[in-house]
Structure 1
């Protein structure tokens, strides 16, 4: 999901309470804060020696230690925070958005908004785990070696290890 799609859901439902579900029946506590919004330009070189570049927007959530708020912020409040950020940092509407969250029982990680569920009072953002990927495999290569030279079982068992034979 890109930033524009995410933000448009908030714009369309400003009076709904915003909730984030990070696991089955696991929600970010309603007292959460949006602590920052980051726009990261990433440049990398993959195991096949190819340079890659992309940008991501990361919306960071934080649960305070005192969790007294029974209701989460409304989408309109999140949009006010987004407006403050966008006055200083123009956010690219076409890049992937991730939600960064962690608490005492859930290690901090970045997750993708998968979809939105709506009720009379709430907009629930369902989050799914971010996964690593091998860009060389996506190009039909494995660690700089054409895919057909390395068996798929070797790739999945240990890409880029001495045992795989691809590096």
Structure 2
């Protein structure tokens, strides 16, 4: 995975640990926050192994924090960071999360299709720690490596299957100038 706005799990957790008493809020679109009664329903670790269009193998790990908005409004405010950290500690008591894993926040509601987004900047606003979420995007790793996606100037396509190489084979008569058998002679 290649993304300049990604954050690793260890950094994400360290940022949270700096503000345990603040209220954790998630902004999923400009001016739109996840309802204050959200739940962290699960934390997933997803090892990814892929082969891109240029035939290069890639591997990385994603740590996905899933948020859920109950359909019924609950009174109260969003959870404090220390509550989120207690959920993280519970998860980490069951599975060892890769500290270098790329963090994604998974969220959706009736007005916003469920998707995985990258945590952006943490902002402090009074008693709130607001985490801006930025959308993920598809990408061509061949282009990111300096290659191309599509037809190159030489007419080659990075995403097309490789053409078999035809080799010329020179046949050599090893039996020339030697005693050899001929069909039906009984010597073979």
Q: Could you tell me the TM-score, scaled by structure 2's length?
A: 0.76
Deviations 1:54-103 (A, max 9, x none): 11100000001112234100000000000000001111112210100000
Aligned mates of 2:8, 2:46 — CA distance in 1: 14
Corresponding residue for residue 79 of structure 2: 73
Alignment gaps of 5+ in structure 1: 161-165
Normalized per residue, which structure has more helix?
1
Aligned mates of 1:135, 1:119 — CA distance in 2: 37
Count of paired positions: 155
Does the Cα contact within 8 Å between 2:24 and 2:81 map onto a contact in 1?
yes
Query: 1:10 Cα shift?
Result: 1.4
**Aligned match of 1:86 in 85, 88, 92?**
92
Aligned mates of 2:105, 2:51 — CA distance in 1: 24
Flag the structure with larger Rg. Answer: 2
Corresponding residue for residue 22 of structure 1: 28
- RMSD (Å) for aligned C-alpha atoms: 2.2
Normalized per residue, which structure has more strand?
1
Query: 1:47 Cα shift?
Result: 1.0
Aligned mates of 1:141, 1:86 — CA distance in 2: 39
Q: From the superposition, tell whether residues 13 and 144 of structure 1 become closer, same or farther in structure 2 (CA, over 3 Å).
A: same
Q: Could you tell me the TM-score, scaled by structure 1's length?
A: 0.85
Query: 1:45 Cα shift?
Result: 1.1
Note if 1:105 corresponds to 2:111: yes
Alignment of structure 1 residues 24-43 onto 2, 5 Å:
24-43=30-49
Note if 1:96 corresponds to 2:98: no
